Chains A and B, each alone.
Chain A
Amino acid sequence: MIKLGKNIVEVTGLKKRYKDFEAVKGVDLQVEEGEIFGFLGPNGAGKSTTINMLSTIIKPSDGIAKINGYDNVKERDDVRASIGLIFQESTLDEKLTANENLMLHCKFYNVPKEKREDRIQEVLEIVDLSENRSKIVETFSGGMKRRLEIARGLLHYPRVLFLDEPTVGLDPQTRNHIWEYILKLKEKAGITIFLTTHYMDEAEICDRIAVMDGGKIIALDSPEQLKSDVGGDIIEIATTDNQQAKQKIEDTYQTTVNESSEGKLSFQVKEGSTFLVEFVKNFDIPITTVNLRRPTLNDVFLQLTGREIREETASKHERNKQSMRGGR
């Protein structure tokens, strides 16, 4: 199944149109074997749409995507056999046991009969669910269900695992666990992992990130590189009069100041620590808090688009989706 050549995913000019709306406006990228590649972007950026095209769920309107050397449209079934998929929404059969869900998957994907038992044990071990093998999935917690889905996605030994928002709607502790499993996967199975997220801390774990907004990739690099491209440090302040302060900083230092929802002003400077001393000394509007920090991926996004990714609203939105689904 393994085709040699270092790029396991190759995409050129990929587009998706829905009637008069273009959800993905031309995406180009290459992903190397064994890489963890992330799509980071706000709601509606086109992350799911892109991942759905790469995983053959929807047909691209234009452009070419190749996975494991196979064309996504012309050799769809070969692509499907080479990939594992974990969707943003759960796709387990909750009336069945974990074992039944896994066994059916083996049959759908033609995993040889004599290998099924070993594989099921193996993937359950990776996600720590061996004890729960014969329990009905309905009785699982959200995190257990997610882990079971990841295990199921691995059963047919995919070359590339696609994860659309793998940790959405989960508590921080469970999120960390899921990440441990994902990293373990990379080490143990050497598979390529392709994921989307709008959590900054998750994006940090990736080898490379494509920042997506409005259907386009607006930056693509390693998290470190992206952050150092911002240049310098970030100063965050709160004042008694943010409006006036914003105006003043922009006029004095010829820079753009962003105001966050929590009422903080942030802007970037070259030499943070030396700048800060002078700045506080000379600034005549009373400052209530001040903070100097290294840029985060949020700053990267802020600099590229002038907007924040808005983790809060995004996760709230997701939780709604989650609870609607929970109501079955």
Chain B
Amino acid sequence: MEGIYAIWQRDIIKFFRDRARLIGSFAMPFMFLILFGSGMSGAMSSMIGGSNAAGPLADFDFVEFMFPGIIGMTVFNTAIFSALSVVQDKEFGYMREILVSPMSRTTIAIGKVLGGSTIAVIQGLMMLIFVPFIGVSISFMMVIKLIPVMFLVAFAISSIGLLIASSLKTSQGFQMVVQILIFPMLFLSGALFPLNGMPAWMDFIVKINPLTYSVDMFKKIILQPDQMAPALREAMGLDLSVFNHVITFSQEILVVVAISAVFVVLATLKFSRSEG
């Protein structure tokens, strides 16, 4: 048990020590929110509501819509890239110090996944700094609800990261694979724009994308779609449904728990079998 804590603790210490990474982690979300979000908001509003929209659709605010997605994106990026440290430890030799200790490989793998998840939650929470500038209102209760959901999502994605990292030997290789994965997952998750009226094959990808359910949970917590007019809710793509059944928050939790369970097992197995 102490082994898990030690592996976790090392990642946390290094996260807070790396100022450049800390500051840099704001850059991407900031650009998305300000440049992409504000820049597109006019176009988005007129597409959704018509240029002189009346009624519920006039309430559509694109930046507000994007905010839960940006939190999702941050958690996702941080969690998956946290596994880069596994590859770097192999490259710089520290992995041998870990692997030759009497700790089991499972201990090491769990410690790594927990470390990545914790950092992702911290980064996700840091995105709340943007709240006052974009006019979303977030209550204390929402934050309390967000934390465990972020952690769950981060745990699933960190496991996927560890699975990839255990199969690769170089940082470059890892970064390339992850970059290739990040873009479709992000764009087809509903994080950056409402996913309405997509072709069937794309819709299929959306539905098997773990990020879709993750982002939707953040939206349900922050945007509170059950208090919206149905027309607006639909326009914002908040009625995520599978097989014509509108999926509930608890069902989404189950989906992500299942994804976590599968990938943490796969990652641990893969990590245990990989040669140090």
CA distance A90 to B97 in the complex (A): 9
A154 to chain B, nearest CB (A): 14
Q: Does B93 contact A (CB under 8 A)?
A: yes
CA distance A56 to B102 in the complex (A): 11
- The stretch from A93-101, A233-241, A272-280 touching chain B is A93-101
CA distance A95 to B17 in the complex (A): 8
Q: How extensive is the interface on chain A, given as a class?
A: 20 to 34
| B100/A81 in contact, CB under 8 A | no
CA distance A90 to B95 in the complex (A): 11
Contact of B97 among A55, A77, A100, A105 (CB under 8 A): A105
CA distance A56 to B92 in the complex (A): 20
Contact of B14 among A80, A95, A328 (CB under 8 A): A95
Q: Interface code B67-101, partner A: CB below 8 Å = 1, 0 otherwise? A: 00000000000000000000000011110111111
CA distance A316 to B13 in the complex (A): 37
CA distance A56 to B100 in the complex (A): 7
B88: nearest chain-A partner, CB-CB: A328
For chain B, residues 1 to 31, give those with C-beta under 8 angstroms from any C-beta of chain A.
2-3, 5-6, 9-10, 13-14, 17-18
Known: A95-B17, A96-B10. A109 touches B101 (CB 8 A): yes
| A87/B96 in contact, CB under 8 A | yes
Q: Which residues of A contact B10 (CB under 8 A)?
A: 93, 96, 100, 104
State the A residues within 8 Å of B (CB).
Answer: 55-57, 77, 80-81, 85, 87, 89-96, 100, 104-105, 107-110, 152, 325, 328
Given contacts A96-B10, A100-B13, 16 further A-B contacts (CB under 8 A): A56-B100, A57-B99, A57-B276, A80-B102, A85-B100, A91-B94, A93-B94, A94-B92, A95-B14, A95-B18, A104-B9, A108-B97, A108-B103, A109-B102, A110-B2, A328-B92
State the B residues within 8 Å of A (CB).
Answer: 2-3, 5-6, 9-10, 13-14, 17-18, 91-94, 96-103, 276
Interface pairs A-B: 5 shortest CB-CB: A107-B6, A108-B101, A91-B93, A91-B97, A77-B102
